Amino acid sequence: MSSIVPVDLLAAATNPLYFSNLVTTNASDPSTIALLSYNDTFRNDVLGENATARRLYNLDHEAFHEMGTYNRKTNSIYVTSNYQSLDNPINVTIIDLGNNYSISSTRYADLNEANGGTNWYPPNSTQGNGTTPPFLLFCDEGDFEHYSGLVSVDPSTNNSQVILNSFLGRNFSSVNDVRQHPETGDIWFTDAPYGFWQEFRPNTSIPSQVYRFVPSTGDISVVADGFIASNGLEFSPDLKTLYVTDTGAQQSINGLNGTRPATIYAFDVVDQRRLDNRRTFAWVENGFPDGIHTDMQGNVWAGCGDGLHVWSPDGVLLGKVWNGVESNNFAFIPGGVLVFSNAQLWIVEGINAVGREICRDFGVCGSS
Ligand SMILES: *[C@@H]1O[C@H](CO)[C@@H](O)[C@H](O)[C@H]1NC(C)=O
Ligand SMILES: *[C@@H]1O[C@H](CO)[C@@H](O)[C@H](O)[C@H]1NC(C)=O
Ligand SMILES: *[C@@H]1O[C@H](CO)[C@@H](O)[C@H](O)[C@H]1NC(C)=O
Ligand SMILES: *[C@@H]1O[C@H](CO)[C@@H](O)[C@H](O)[C@H]1NC(C)=O
Ligand SMILES: *[C@@H]1O[C@H](CO)[C@@H](O)[C@H](O)[C@H]1NC(C)=O
Ligand SMILES: *[C@@H]1O[C@H](CO)[C@@H](O)[C@H](O)[C@H]1NC(C)=O
Ligand SMILES: *[C@@H]1O[C@H](CO)[C@@H](O)[C@H](O)[C@H]1NC(C)=O
Ligand SMILES: *[C@@H]1O[C@H](CO)[C@@H](O)[C@H](O)[C@H]1NC(C)=O
Ligand SMILES: *[C@@H]1O[C@H](CO)[C@@H](O)[C@H](O)[C@H]1NC(C)=O
Ligand SMILES: *[C@@H]1O[C@H](CO)[C@@H](O)[C@H](O)[C@H]1NC(C)=O
């Protein structure tokens, strides 16, 4: 069980060892989780004074890595595992919210090496608050034989369908993460060299970019480039800003290069179709920012090298959900957050923050 730990930024300003003495864990057997408040807004508003955190699982394999998408029909959250080998490919881990977070593993036809994902409404289905998104949309990183692209799955029937596997005939590297614009239905996604870095894809032959795909017509465009590894992406709750993480500091699977990006960029979303005004939103001092989500106050949360980091909409670091280990992604649930740290799954409960998609996905639409 955790408590909220205040961070004294003035003490840290002149003591480079401040953080190494603040809270520690055994990274080969992590069991500590702490809520570090860098700014009173974190304790008072984002979390609330009674928030708590604990570990749910510590497995012998890395079942909790990316995605974290809720489906209301199955009352479950879908998470993708970390890559192990072509002989032990990426699983989908199903967390049953109706049964004490019990977990099971599965794989779907047509989905080879899954990574990020989201809920999605196919063309002509009704979008809206409280309208259950029927399908899961997975990024498939592909392998030496299979294309990388986007695969739709109906978790009620387990039927799957490839909806995209090239840019007008050019192969993607490893499609990484995806969101559906809640008003236009367009699918925005990133592509990065991970399959090559992890040695299950050929060398990249296309830049790391951000794309917008119109699933009803097949129209596809590049909306941003200039990344080493475009990774997580997320809209602000007013849909005026898109955040994109660059995990280029993870130069290969074998190591970090601290001089390359571990950075979140922000863009203006223009006419719901293009991006403009690229700017640096935040850089992280521990690991790299991977999966990213916003809450209804516009705060930006990202999975980083030591847990989750949370910034205000103007880029001030407000606090961390600290567990001392790489936490690639997370999922908001009503009143809480599930944190994916590969072999571990953690939960933060009793928080004020409400994830951007909570109202739509869970039908829980409170006053805040
Ligand atoms: C850290 O955890 C590992 C694995 O359980 C254990 O072997 C090691 O002794 C622990 N280290 C410390 C300092 O407790
Ligand atoms: C806390 O964050 C808010 C919001 O960004 C900022 O206005 C304020 O100055 C910060 N407080 C301190 C003590 O740094
Ligand atoms: C936190 O818990 C304490 C003790 O149960 C209670 O008195 C207080 O009202 C709670 N605070 C909030 C904001 O709910
Ligand atoms: C719920 O699951 C946890 C492990 O995540 C276990 O320790 C606990 O006993 C379970 N509780 C019930 C009521 O099954
Ligand atoms: C997939 O799940 C099975 C069963 O839980 C497990 O043995 C295997 O190691 C998992 N593979 C990966 C890549 O996590
Ligand atoms: C969506 O509806 C329009 C108008 O009814 C129709 O022309 C179009 O074929 C439909 N698209 C799909 C993908 O079903
Ligand atoms: C959905 O709810 C949000 C607030 O939770 C509101 O801003 C938005 O207008 C609603 N959208 C629709 C289509 O009702
Ligand atoms: C594109 O990917 C497919 C499927 O893996 C492969 O057969 C094809 O050779 C690739 N094309 C190029 C130009 O690399
Ligand atoms: C779909 O897959 C899940 C997980 O393996 C399984 O529990 C469920 O029974 C399957 N549903 C159908 C309709 O086959
Ligand atoms: C992979 O492609 C890049 C870009 O063309 C090139 O610089 C690099 O040398 C290639 N790496 C290998 C191992 O072929």
Report the alpha-carbon distance of residue 255 to residue 253 in Å, rounded: 6
Strand 34-37 relative to strand 76-80: parallel, antiparallel, unpaired? unpaired
Tell me, yes or no, whether 9 lies in a domain.
Answer: no
Tell me, yes or no, whether 289 lies in a domain.
Answer: yes
Q: Which residues make Cβ contacts (< 8 Å) with residue 356, sequence separation at least 6?
A: 234, 235, 237, 293, 294, 295, 296, 332
Tell me, yes or no, whether 205 lies in a domain.
Answer: yes
Phi and psi of 25, rounded to 5°? -145, 170
- Residue owning the nearest CA to atom 9 of ligand 3: 50
Rounded mean pLDDT of 154-178?
Answer: 97
366: pLDDT strictly greater than 90: no
Q: What is the pLDDT of residue 2?
A: 63
CATH number for the domain including 119? 2.120.10.30
Q: Is the CB of 157 under 6 A from ligand 9?
A: yes
103: pLDDT strictly greater than 70: yes
What is the pLDDT confidence band of residue 255, given thresholds at 50, 70 and 90? Answer: confident
Average pLDDT, the chain: 95
CB 142 within 8 A of CB 172: yes
Global model pTM greater than 0.75? yes
Tell me, yes or no, whether 224 lies in a domain.
Answer: yes
Tell me, yes or no, whether 223 lies in a domain.
Answer: yes
Can you tell me whether residue 219 is helix, strand or coil? coil
What is the pLDDT confidence band of residue 252, given thresholds at 50, 70 and 90? Answer: low
User: Mutation test of ligand 6: which of 121, 127, 216, 219 has the most ligand atoms closer than 8 Å to its C-beta?
Assistant: 216
How many Cβ atoms sit within 10 Å of the Cβ of residue 367?
4
CB 174 within 8 A of CB 209: no
Provide, rounded to the nearest whole percent, the portion of the chain with pLDDT above 90. Answer: 92
Rounded mean pLDDT of 83-88?
Answer: 96
Tell me, yes or no, whether 89 lies in a domain.
Answer: yes
Q: How many structural domains compose the chain?
A: 1
Q: What is the pLDDT of residues 24-56, one digit of tens each?
A: 999 999 999 999 999 999 999 999 999 999 999
Which residue segment(s) compose the domain that 214 sits in? 59-304+324-362
368: pLDDT strictly greater than 60: no
What is the pLDDT confidence band of residue 154, given thresholds at 50, 70 and 90? Answer: very high
Q: 3-state DSSP: the chain helix, strand, coil percent, rounded to 5?
A: 5, 45, 50
Q: What is the pLDDT of residue 282?
A: 98
- Closest ligand 10 atom to residue 196 Cα is 1
Q: What is the pLDDT of residues 292-348, one digit of tens each?
A: 999 999 999 999 999 999 999 999 999 999 999 999 999 999 999 999 999 999 999
Kindly give the distance from the C-alpha atom of residue 203 to the centroid of ligand 10, in angstroms, as a whole number.
Answer: 6
Tell me, yes or no, whether 18 lies in a domain.
Answer: no
Tell me, yes or no, whether 225 lies in a domain.
Answer: yes
